[in-house]
Amino acid sequence: MKSSTGARPSPPPIRTQHDSAGAHASADFSALAPQLVYLPPADIELVRDAFYVSRDAHAGQFRKSGEPYISHPLAVAGILSGWHLDAQALAAALLHDVVEDTAATTEDIQARFGKAVAHLVEGVSKLDKLSFANEEHAQAENFRKMLLAMARDVRVILIKLADRLHNMRTLGDLSAEKRKRIAAETLEIYAPIANRLGLHAVYQELDDLGFRYLYPTRHRVVMKAVRAERGNRRELVEKIRETIQEKLDQAGVDATVTGREKHLYSIYKKMQEKNLGFTEVFDIYGFRVVVKDVPSCYLALGVLHGLYKPIPGKFKDYIAIPKANGYQSLHSILFGPQGTPIEIQIRTQDMHRFAETGVASHWMYKSSDAALSDVQQRTHRWLQSLLDIQADNKDSPEFLEHIKVDLFPDDVYVFTPKGRIMALPRGATAVDFAYAVHTDVGHHCVAVKINHELMPLRTELRNGDHVEIITAANAAPNAAWLNFAVTGKARSHIRQFLRTAKAEESAQLGQSLLENALKALNPEAPPPSPVLLQKLLRETNSKSADELYAEIGLGRKPAMVVAHQLLHLMGDETGRTPHPMTVTIRGTEGVPVELASCCHPIPGDPILGFIHKDRGLIIHTHDCPAIHNFRADPEKWLDVEWQAAPGSLFDVSIKLVVANQRGVLARVAAAISEQGSNIGNVAMQEEDGSPYTALYFTLKVEDRMHLARIMRALRQLPDVVRIFRMKGRREGRAQSQ
């Protein structure tokens, strides 16, 4: 049999009792069949076949409500038929739980229904057969798989949304705990996806159902208030609608005017976010004006602005600049009768269809309309960005975190230097813009011009900003950018760069530590041969030499232990553990080498290096009180010494006891500045009734000699009674200089 969806494979590996007798059981299919009139007969047969396979596979299975399980996939297919999806998607909807809940496999489905249907089923299926560290990881991995399948074929998410919509409609039969968990997931993930794809009606229903089951008491209160207020408003709403319709008719604008109400969850969110009372939110009357073409939209806007005065700053033109999901309309809030706010949406019939069905419009309305093409292009760009983020994030929870950021609906529209419009999430900064332009632009950005003025990279962008990124070839991402970057793409690429840089730096340090440890154990030991290195990798369960060196550099594998393993493989185990050779430290190595914050070592201090499991090599002063407990474990510490690094500055803490005199802080700060040091932090502690005050400074110094010059200069001030360099976390551990 042939159909518009391709050849049907034969013979079928999945057997059902209806394979040759579908006619006598056609009544089972009667609930769905009337909705499939838009499909060719051959495609209807494919859907019918999928129905019988699903029904027989789920035979004996029941939902919590007591209904046969087949009622669920049948309802999902019914929702999708309302969006006019093709036969492959409808077949996959009917079969989407077969692999998960029965003995049938994806290969069985592919053999009978073809590769496309099998891929759709696989994309929708959960990963229950795999084991995960915790429920959060499992949810993140399920979501990650679904999004990646969706990026290749958007029908996956349409099936999943229909599946979630029917599950939410029948959620009342589950336990309270499960209801709340599923409702929270729906509000956090699935409703925003529906909104992001322009499925407005689905988005609103998922929002309201999620609100109902996650906050049942609040839902009842808001619902009761809405019903009570609706009766009071009905007459006024109808009067305003008639006035608007009459005015548009007089102006010759062919339009349909309808009143519209906010859905419950949007009312609740606005009350929460803006700390408003119910009547303050519900006092906004909403109307939708649907006209025949784009010029009529602007003509209607002019008519309504003449009828009621617009509220300044409350007009948005989403026709000229559509939302990221392709949504188009004119929005304006007006002063209505007796000062009542009126929210108006003006759009064409095509825009209205797209606003309600979003990306599903591709199947519902076969058209070459440019707006439809734009919806598809925007959706494709967003889906492609998911693949870009996935490429940089193998960790599922982190991937989920990045995706959630991109699901927020509020967008900011800014202009590139060439006048191209770019949409970014609200709260996005110049760094987010740089990464949106190109990854390399983000990696090398150093400054930004916003509206032709130099601004910091952390500057939050606003609608209409003209943004120009300034780059430098030697620039690189900074970990501090993660404090203000908000888009998934920017955060993903920054973290990936930092991870790569950390791995390379850790590998260099680890190789040096291993070489030093090997020479300490056996000064005559030759460098390991490639064959020996492969044996060592197997011994240490490492995939590559770089991974092994990075593990050593990060302190996860002690260099002395690995050196012993290497010597053992060489057949030259010495049986003794000499003192490790000295490692040189510049103090600017970065992630794998860290200067301890408890003692603030500076060049010139005698120092020791301690290997920490996750933080790498931590440098302490020899007399730091914090290392007392570790001195007895020789495998945990290394002798290290400073290597000259001109121009580097280091933090050091000092304490001064000074006479409680007017202007003493200014005199001390001036003396520090005269010695070429900057003050990073200052604190003051004054005892009641005491003639003395304690001043605590964190200074930037080049080395121990520089600190000594500063302290000599401070001692010469008549107000200074005593001066200490702070080591350790308590004042009692301060050391006098």
Q: CB neighbours (10 Å) of residue 579? A: 9
Say if residues 408 and 425 touch (Cβ distance below 8 Å). Answer: yes
Q: Which of 424, 439, 390, 395 is nearest to 150 (CA)?
A: 390
Q: Which of 109, 81, 107 is nearest to 95 (CA)?
A: 109
Q: Which of 245, 76, 262 is nearest to 159 (CA)?
A: 76
Q: Which of 560, 523, 539 is nearest to 636 (CA)?
A: 560
37-44, Cβ contacts within 8 angstroms, sequence gap of 24 or more? 38/84, 39/86, 39/87, 40/3, 40/4, 42/1, 42/2, 42/3, 42/4, 43/3, 43/4, 43/5, 43/86, 43/87, 44/87
* Euclidean distance between CA atoms 332 and 317, whole angstroms: 9
| AA identity, residue 616 | G
Question: How do 330-335 and 255-260 pair as beta strands?
Answer: unpaired
Question: How do 692-701 and 650-659 pair as beta strands?
Answer: antiparallel
Say if residues 96 and 49 touch (Cβ distance below 8 Å). Answer: no
Q: Which of 590, 437, 424, 432 is nearest to 502 (CA)?
A: 590
Selecting among 19, 28, 45, 100, the annotated active-site residue is 100
* Euclidean distance between CA atoms 298 and 288, whole angstroms: 14
Selecting among 19, 28, 45, 101, the annotated active-site residue is 101
Any catalytic annotation for residue 100?
A: yes
**HSE of 382, CA atoms in CB hemisphere, 13 A:** 31
Any catalytic annotation for residue 273?
A: no
- Respond yes or no on whether the N-terminal peptide bond of residue 341 is cis (omega within 30° of 0): no
Burial 155-183 (b: 16+ CB within 10 A, else e): bbbbbbbbbbbbbbeebeebeeeebbbbb
| C-alpha R_g of the chain | 34
Residues in the chain: 737
| 427 Cβ contact list (under 8 Å, min separation 6) | 412, 460, 486
List active site positions: 100-101
